[in-house]
Amino acid sequence: MKNPQRSPTNPGSLRSRFTQVFLQSLLRIRKHNPTSSSSSSHGEFLKRCRRVKVAAYVSMARAVGTRRAWSRATLWRARNGERQRNLLYGRCSKSNSRERSLGKRKRKKKKKKKRDNEEHSFGHAKKLQKLVPGGEAMDFCCLLDETAHYIKCLITQVKVMRSIADFYSL
C-alpha cells in the first residue's frame, strides 16, 4: 500500500504544500518586478535570483510549518527583515569572512595535533550547526533529527523546482 504522504497529488503532502506556496511567491515576485528584456541589467537579474532563492526557502519553511526548529528560524529571519543574502545561513560580510577563514586555518592546524574521535565528530557537529538554520541553538541529537528533515525538504524543493523548470522549458 502506498504512503499517502509521498503522493505528489495528495494535497496534504509536503511536495504539494511547497509547490502551492512557492508558485504564489513566484507570482508575487513577478507582479512586483516585471521583466523587460531591453532594460534589465545584470544587477537586476541577480536581485531577482536572490528573491527567488529566498522565496524557495521561505516557501519550504511555510510548507513545513512551525513544528521544526529550522523552519521557525527561517521564518523568523524572513519576518525580521534581514538582508536577503544573509537570510538562510547568516553569511557575513567579506571582511568578516576573511577573518573567519584565517581562524579556520588555525583550527585545522590544531586538529591535526589532536586525533581524538570526539573532537573530530564535534567539528562535524559545528559544521552542521552552521548549515541548518537555527542549528546553533540545538543539542547534538536534535541537530541530527533536524538535519535529516531539512535534507528531506531540500530534496523535495529540488524536485519541485526541476518539475517547474521542465514544464516551462517545453
Task: Give the pLDDT confidence of 10-47 residue by residue, as tens digits.
Answer: 777 889 999 999 999 999 888 877 665 555 688 888 88
Query: Taking the CA atoms of the chain, what radius of gyration do you get in angstroms?
Result: 19
Nearest to 125 by CA among 143, 148, 108, 107: 143
For the whole prediction, is pTM greater than 0.85?
no
- pLDDT value at residue 110: 53
- Summarize pLDDT for 60-98 with one digit per residue, the tens: 999 999 999 999 999 998 888 755 445 455 555 444 444
Domain ranges, ordered by start, for the chain: 11-168
120: cell is 573530530
